[in-house]
Homo-oligomer: A and B are copies of this chain.
Amino acid sequence: MPILSYIDAVTLALREEMQKNPRVFVLGEDVGVRGGVFRATHGLIDEFGPERVLDTPLTESAIAGVSIGASVYGMRPVAEMQFADFIMPAVNQIISEAAKMRYRSNNSWHCPLVIRAPYGGGVHGGLYHSQSVEKLFTGIPGLKIVTPSTPYDVKGLLKSAIQDEDPVLFFEHKRCYRLIKGEVPEEDYTLPIGQAEVKREGTDVTVISYGLTLHFALQAAEELQKEGISVHVLDLRTLIPLDKEAVLQAVAKTGKVMIIHEDNLTGGFGGEVSALIAEEAFFELDAPIRRLAGPDVPAMPYSPPLEKEFMLNQEKVTHAIRELAEF
């Protein structure tokens, strides 16, 4: 199987879906000739022409709103927000419009669109090119939220997102783009949205995570294995709909739970996962539910020592899991 980077899996999924369905098109800032500032849409304009690879004006609300209109008509727009931080001007269109189109029309209309957005830090992006914004949308019924961590999952889930009949926010961790590589089958496969995956089996501590921090968890698990601590790692992959069954099963495996994400602690999705567990798997628990997350400051600063302080890493994760294991 070919080894692809995380971002190449994005491009591949887009290309395959565009080849298959002429109604799929991409739009966003610099997605055309430039191929995207991260190069996620590289080469698509050559293959599909400027009509299906649209450079839009610098207007996120329009990118979302026009996608809604086009998808209501029956197209399959895949919009790019250049950085997840810049999704903010589109919040009204996403929350008031996309999320509610089906519900408010009593199922007469729906808008099958995908919004891709690179999120997360560790790339010297400073306050506004490093944010995790998933928490803004996980509480909005009507949206699906996908946050893959591996190239394999990226391809399968992005293809599912494009085929989905409801609006999907597809958050790509930008630090993973070139850092994370993995096997990606050449064939046309999809992965179901709403299904978590056990990325590592273990018996002492259950880690629940997604995105970049999932990799820290896997590295930490490897490390801790040497100390005789066996870590069970669940990759949520999709935040909404949340795979509750998988979460509860993962908790039952060890009785000790650590939820990890890069988004700030307070209000982050970890709270939701924790609340689910505290309500539905309370008697499986052998220890308090721990969360390890970005600090409660407005965003990740630019200066290297501050960025480092904000970001999680293998060391911090290992330390936290070890502590919980010893609880």
Contact = CB atoms under 8 A, between A and B. Distances in A.
Interface string A285-321: 1011111000011110000000000000000000000
Interface in A59-108: 61, 85, 88-89, 91-92, 95-96, 99-100, 103-104
Given A92-B89, A280-B288, A298-B140, A270 B266 contact: no
Nearest to A280: B288
A278 B297 CA distance: 23
A238 interface: no
Size class of the contact patch on chain A: 35 or more
Please indicate which of the listed interface residues A127, A270, A275 has the most CB atoms of chain B within 10 Å of its own CB.
A275
Interface stretch (A38-46, A131-139, A222-230): A131-139
A266 B88 contact: no
Stoichiometry (number of copies): 2
Interface string A243-277: 00000000000000000000110111111101101
Contact of A139 (B267, B274, B297): B267
A192 interface: no
Nearest to A142: B298
Given A136-B139, A274-B278, 16 more contacts: A61-B89, A85-B96, A91-B92, A136-B136, A138-B267, A141-B297, A141-B298, A242-B266, A266-B272, A267-B269, A274-B275, A275-B275, A275-B291, A279-B290, A280-B288, A283-B288
Interface of A: 61, 85, 88-89, 91-92, 95-96, 99-100, 103-104, 127-128, 135-136, 138-142, 240, 242, 263-264, 266-272, 274-275, 277-280, 282-283, 285, 287-291, 296-299
